[in-house]
Chain A
Amino acid sequence: MASILSSRVTKAAVFLLCLVPLASMAWRGMHDQLGANPIEYITRATGTWTLRFLVIGLAITPARKLLKQPLLIRYRRMIGLYAFFCGCLHLTTYIWLDKFFDWGDAWKDVLKRPFITVGFLAFVAMVPLAITSTAGWIRRLGGKRWQLLHRLVYLSAIAGVIHYYWLVKSDVRLPVFYGVLTAILLSCRALVAFRKAA
């Protein structure tokens, strides 16, 4: 298992696998298969994938310990950057296809509409994480401080779940599903911190 996880081929394969949802959306888009409202479809899909990558990223640390596979860490940055990438696409869809670059109007939305406010917060929290994701930045910040900064991802995931929950009209199954996953993954960490303190 360790040899598989440490292989460059595996990493390249995971990288390509993560592109599948986007590639599939692009393919469906080109073949007119995004339904009657393609823009809504793209908005939904990019948002959902942001949340999925965030949850997968959050699962890596507990999975390393539970499965005794420390090498899984090799994939965390990539997953995190995919979350950021999908978040960028999601925000771009909104700014471009919903607001048509009316920045004033978009900003008014951010201030006025709580579900957009938290969605924007979830995105903004990812920006410093994406910037400081390089080895150079880890060195410059120092491991401890870098780790502290990167706890912002908890905020991003929680805000993302609230964004989704506040968006739906009445069927809350999916937001609740991602909320439960996030809660489980964050409580794993709380448990570990609590044990250490005790």
Chain B
Amino acid sequence: MLIRKRSPLPYSAVTPKDQYVNRRQLLQTAGLAGLGLAAGVPLIGGTKLNAVKSPLSTTGEKLTPVEAVTTYNNFYEFGTGKDEPERNATKFVTRPWTVSVEGECGKPRTFDLDAIMKLAPLEERVYRMRCVEAWSMVIPWIGFPLSEVLKQVQPTSKAKYVAFQSFYDPKQMPMGKFGGLPFPYVEGLRLDEAMHPLVILASGLYGETLPNQNGAPLRLVIPWKYGFKGIKSIAKIRLVEKQPPTTWALSNGSEYGFYSNVNPKVDHPRWTQSKERRIGEFQKRDTLMFNGYGDRVASLYNGMDLKKNY
């Protein structure tokens, strides 16, 4: 005999039809909210940026909380304490902003910020960031490949390196004089490194425009190199023939080299680089060669002695 049992599910547990029909959109919103990307609610006080997720993003890593990303910064122009840039950069004026791209190129040009942002579609790139001080984060950057900008100005055959210069204004950055570094901050890459698809100019993170302390309005991100190579608040990009000077190497060349690739086998003279502390974690973890991006970038350094070229 067939005994019909009442369903254990009350009617109230059934998903209402309108939600069921829109289930994909709902899930998407929930997912974005988890990243802090939900429309209308700025997470870090910036402007929301629309970006497509890049297939070049690092997967399988937990993102470092946005509070840590925006309160633990090395930006010596605004003070040498990790929490100082957040406090001291609040009034930093990043509009209007121009980036001049010049040097050994056919079409040197000064880009207005809006113009440079329109050169290529914005992408979200999740990258590990390994600081030379042996801590690391995982950050969802928003930006576009540096190569897109370089292609615009048509580098000549003389262009072998790219030199970068930060904006520096002692009036807006009064703490800069205590940093012990010569400013403006300068950085550099070999041209082939600069053209690598993993290198981006970032204008945002966590779905919004960059907070000032993270290098607004435009900064460099090179995921396989120590964080200090990622020059902030870029004012000038210059194609050059010879290896350009870099700020940390100028300040202390025996500790900080031009290449500064993340390398667990080459220690900083004062501390080991074989391990790192991921911000938010208690135990240390092993540092990966080229910060885990070796399969994509190791070939750039074929035949080079990475101990000498640190």
Contact = CB atoms under 8 A, between A and B. Distances in A.
Q: How large is the interface on B (under 10, 10 to 19, 20 to 34, 35 or more residues)?
A: 20 to 34
A169 B135 CA distance: 15
A100 B284 CA distance: 9
Interface string B107-136: 000000000000000000000000001010
A115 B180 CA distance: 19
A170 B135 contact: no
A166 B82 CA distance: 19
Interface stretch (B39-47, B65-73, B206-214): B65-73
B277 interface: yes
Contact of A37 (B72, B251, B272): B72
B76 A171 contact: yes
Interface string A161-173: 0000011011111
Contact of B252 (A40, A109, A170): A170
A35 B71 CA distance: 8
B178 A37 contact: no
A115 B80 contact: no
A64 interface: no
A114 B213 CA distance: 33
B83 interface: yes
- Indicate the member of A98, A167, A169 with the most B CB atoms within 10 Å: A169
Nearest to B247: A170
A169 B226 CA distance: 15
B271 interface: yes
A39 B277 contact: yes
Interface string A145-177: 000000000000000000000110111110000
Contacts, number: 49
Interface in A21-58: 35-37, 39-40
- Interface of chain B, helix or strand or loop or mixed? loop
A68 B269 CA distance: 48
A164 to B, nearest CB: 13
Contacts of B251: 170
B82 A170 contact: no
B71 A36 contact: yes
Interface string B64-99: 000110011000100010110000000000000000
B82 A173 contact: no
Interface string B247-278: 00001100000000000000001111000010
B72 A36 contact: yes
B71 A115 contact: no
A113 B72 contact: no
Nearest to A170: B180
Contacts of B68: 36
A173 B178 CA distance: 8
Contacts of B80: 169-171
A103 B269 CA distance: 20
A115 B283 CA distance: 23
- Indicate the member of A36, A97, A113, A167 with the most B CB atoms within 10 Å: A36
B30 to A, nearest CB: 26
A117 to B, nearest CB: 11
A94 to B, nearest CB: 11
A171 B179 CA distance: 5
B181 A170 contact: yes
A172 B180 contact: yes
A166 B46 CA distance: 38
A114 B270 CA distance: 7
Nearest to A167: B270
B279 interface: yes
Nearest to B137: A36
- Indicate the member of B251, B277, B283 with the most A CB atoms within 10 Å: B277
A113 B178 contact: no
Nearest to A115: B270
13 contacts: A35-B83, A37-B277, A39-B282, A40-B135, A109-B272, A114-B270, A169-B133, A169-B252, A170-B252, A171-B76, A171-B80, A171-B179, A171-B180
Closest 10 CB pairs of A and B: A170-B180, A36-B72, A36-B68, A171-B80, A171-B180, A36-B279, A170-B181, A170-B251, A113-B270, A115-B270
Interface of A: 35-37, 39-40, 97-98, 100, 109, 113-115, 166-167, 169-173
